[in-house]
Structure 1
Amino acid sequence: MSTSVETTSAVVAAYYETVNTGDWDRWLELFDDNVVVDEQLAGHVEGIGILRGAVSGLKKGYSKFQNKPVHTVIDGDQACVVSHISAANAIGVPIEANVANYFRLANGKIVYMANFHDTVPFAPFVNQKLD
């Protein structure tokens, strides 16, 4: 069953709202249990369990994380969002990056997501030592 443009738009908007408010439990609810994600830093991951595990790393690794959409294109059950991330690692080292996220939905849930960005700005996150 396909997803309507209205549903896709609502899910994509909720994705950015939950990320920007740190509502990680609601964020996880946007994904299908069998989601597939191609993430620029984490690589290819499958299943909601991987995302659940990643949430604790996000909470510990970022003292600030904002991902603000700049341009969104929605076509049926697919969307592409160009956005800007303003973040800081756990000790406050700033991270600024432009990103493109691609989403594919089925039955109102994200079943596939990929993101594309330069990895260099994320060095303060990736290279930090967390307790």
Structure 2
Amino acid sequence: METREVITRYYELANAGEWDTWCDLFAPDQVMDEQLAGHVEGRETLRGMMKGFPETYASFANKPVHVVVEGEQAAVVSHISAMTVGGESIEAGVCNYFVVTDGLISYMSNFHDSVPFAPILGK
């Protein structure tokens, strides 16, 4: 898949809650710098983390607002609307940066305000 296709699929699968298939978009040796989870290395580490996602969120949507793709790199400004299993609402703007190598996400980082995520962080 080309970079734009990978990025489009990333959001489609996330919004469908298909986390195992979503993890397949990442390279086996992927590196992620995630605002809440920290530094994550390896697709299987990521897959293990995502198994707990349905236990955290009753609903989750991450809708792209602006997508920029140049070669193997992409930046996406998006908006997350979520509901925790405890009923707390989360609304947050996000910016994701991706590097796609050989059709798989090899690096990703995201940037957002962590305050809206206080209900899941226990703060």
What is the number of equivalent residue pairs in this alignment?
Answer: 123
- 2:50 is the counterpart of 1:55: yes
- SS of 1:60's equivalent in the other structure is helix
Provide the C-alpha distance between the structure 2 equivalents of 1:111 and 1:89, rounded to a whole number of angstroms. Answer: 29
Give the alignment's Cα RMSD to 1 decimal: 1.2
* Letter in structure 2 aligned against 1:49: E
TM-score of the pair, normalised by structure 2: 0.96
Local SS of the residue matching 1:121: helix
* Separation in 1, partners of 2:120, 2:73: 29
- Paired AA for residue 73 in structure 2: Q
Query: Which residue does the alignment assign to 2:100?
Result: 105
Whether 2:42 is the aligned partner of 1:43: answer no
Report the CA distance between 1:124 and its aligned residue.
0.9
Moved over 3 A (4+): none
1:58 positional shift: 0.8
1:125 aligns with 2:117: no
Aligned: 1:89 with 2:84: yes
2:28 corresponding residue in structure 1: 33
Cα shift at 1:127: 1.4
SS of corresponding position for 1:73? strand
Instruction: Confirm whether residue 80 of structure 1 aligns to residue 38 of structure 2.
Output: no
Q: Match for residue 71 of structure 1?
A: 66
Gaps of 5+ in 1: 1-5
Look up the equivalent residue of 1:54 and give its one-letter code. M
Superimposed CA distance per residue, residues 78-108 of structure 1 (whole angstroms, 9 cap, x where no aligned partner): 0000000000111121000000000001100
Larger Rg belongs to:
1
Matches of 1:43 and 1:55, distance apart in 2 = 14
Structure 2: where are the runs of 5+ without partners?
none
Structure-1-length-normalised TM-score: 0.91
